[in-house]
Structure 1
Amino acid sequence: MAGARPRTKISAWTPPVPGITEVFHAHFTDHAYPAHVHETWDLMILDAGGVDFALDRREHAISGADSVMLLPPGVPHDGRTATESGFRKRVLYLDTGVLPEGLTGGAVARPVLRDALLRRRIHQLHTALGQPGDAFEAESRLSFVAERLRRHLGTWRPREPGREANRLAAALRDLLDSRTAEGVPLHEAAALLHAHPAHLIRCFGQAYGLPPHAYLTGRRVDRARRLLLAGRRPADVATDVGFHDQAHLHRHFTRHVGTTPGRYAAGRPRDSR
């Protein structure tokens, strides 16, 4: 029917990333949330529209492309659309391993953060979460989002890489090289190397000029090239080198090499005897 309002659309899933209990994308036209609480932190960005909400009985509003909403666990809040066309939002529900409950007071005092860099980093995190097989990248991006949130809550100042940078970077590179196919979660690498995840990523970037998830992807693409030229099928190569599936290999291989795995393999010379 002409002029009808768009229907509600929802997408939700639990990603394989420690600290994120749920990813929730929604387009609401007239939905209103009753007062409720979460056990987790509620981190939201808007892609369209605006939202009015009350947190701990104080009224707030969020709109615009550079704003972020952070609601703490255990504190009552509600929400409703502030525009006739509704709103489109992307939400991450974060457990208290990412942000401890002790930071609740700062979030209650200022739940709307106007920070274009933080908003962009959250968008990049959502993009990684939407790609099967990119959990290592998503975990890396989450560490920087959490760090930025802690800065807003007044409890964190990132440490710049010092004398230990090259040592930590080399140790992480060796770890990634030894586990290229199976991979290593960022939190496990940080525990093994006794470094904060974000600091470990900074040290690696300073030493090698790219983040560790990009380094790992490049190593996997290099291995895929060798196997493809040896006559292996792209579908088998994908899982052998550590990609989630053939589509995951196709996406990264094309970006790195400029052609698809199938075309790359087809270009190798054949024995003419």
Structure 2
Amino acid sequence: MVDRREISAWRPRVPGVVEVFHAHYTEYAYPMHVHEAWTLLIVDDGAVRYDLDRHEHGTPGDTVSLLPPHVPHNGSPASEHGFRKRVLYLDLSRLDASLIGPAVDAPDVVDPVLRLRVGQLHTSLAHAGDELEAESRLAFIGERLHGHLRPRAAQRRPPDRGVAPRLRELLDARLVDGVSLDEAARLVHAHPAHLVRAFSGAFGIAPHQYLMSRRVERARRLLLEGMRPAEVAAATGFYDQAHLNRHFKRLVGVAPGRYRNSSR
């Protein structure tokens, strides 16, 4: 089978929508990574399997998948001919952080009405000038997602405040400048080896993988704003453009230049 990687990405003028991303992959598999935004995913052809919080999930039929921010996940084709997907990345103004836990517990929502509405939203986002329609459709989608997730929120335990969450906060704060392991260990008062082990055990991803995926996430936004890859590399903490290219292609499936050129 030919390894096909077709993508289209853009940032619409609709509040709350960070990015629209359409892709057709036949063999490409995402490694473990994170997003700063909510990932609202529908699959139009084929199927995707993915791991989230050490549990395997999939996207059959009328499923709408909602993957929460900052929680590592991967993804790979679950059918012979790959998959064709449409993704919306939504900021916390649409779905607040209190829903992250419930979304981890049940990321795949079987709801034909929700699935239809997400597809209609993608259609309206594809046409400049239809922003009011898109905002209206997004409001109804947010309301329906809240209806699915809110009852679960009251059942969640308070978040852990151990060394792993504190290291994640530090990595988020030092996204561009970075931080050495020794410095991080001093700041969170833990032995370096214990810190890496605790972070990997808590989140299913190593600290350096988390940092690189957050940098790639930032790079995506800047590329869609029109910045050149060399400028983006410097603005997001990568050593040079080649360093950006390597990690970007590993996490997105295409090079930064191709991703930028796919924007509408």
Q: 2:86 aligns with which of 73, 90, 97?
A: 90
Distance verdict in 2 for CA 1:34–1:94, change over 3 Å? same
Q: Contact (CA 8 Å) 1:49, 1:83: kept in 2 or not?
A: yes
1:40 aligns with 2:37: yes
1:138 aligns with 2:134: yes
Larger RCO (CA under 8 A, 6+ residues apart) = 2
1:25 aligns with 2:29: no
Q: Contact (CA 8 Å) 2:50, 2:74: kept in 1 or not?
A: yes
Distance 1:89 1:74 in 2: 21
Distance 1:155 1:20 in 2: 25
Amino acid corresponding to residue 2 of structure 2 in structure 1: R
1:229-264 deviation digits (Å, cap 9, x = unpaired): xxxxxxxxxxxxxxxxxxxxxxxxxxxxxxxxxxxx
1:5 aligns with 2:2: yes
Q: Contact (CA 8 Å) 2:3, 2:28: kept in 1 or not?
A: no
Quote how far apart the aligned CAs of 1:6 are: 6.8
Query: What is the percentage of aligned positions where both structures have the same residue?
Result: 57
Q: 1:76 aligns with which of 72, 78, 92?
A: 72
Amino acid corresponding to residue 18 of structure 1 in structure 2: P
Amino acid corresponding to residue 48 of structure 1 in structure 2: D
1:174 corresponds to: none
| Structure-to-structure mapping, 1:43-192, within 5 angstroms | 43-64=40-61, 66-154=62-150
Q: Give the alignment's TM-score, normalised by structure 1.
A: 0.54
Q: Unaligned 5+ residue runs, structure 2?
A: 153-264
Q: Give the alignment's TM-score, normalised by structure 2.
A: 0.56
Quote how far apart the aligned CAs of 1:155 are: 5.2
Quote how far apart the aligned CAs of 1:101 are: 1.0
SS at match of 2:43: strand
1:15 aligns with 2:5: no
How well do the aligned residues superpose, as a CA RMSD in angstroms? Answer: 1.4
Aligned residues: 152
2:199 corresponds to: none
Distance 1:147 1:110 in 2: 17
* Runs of 4+ off more than 2 Å: 4-7
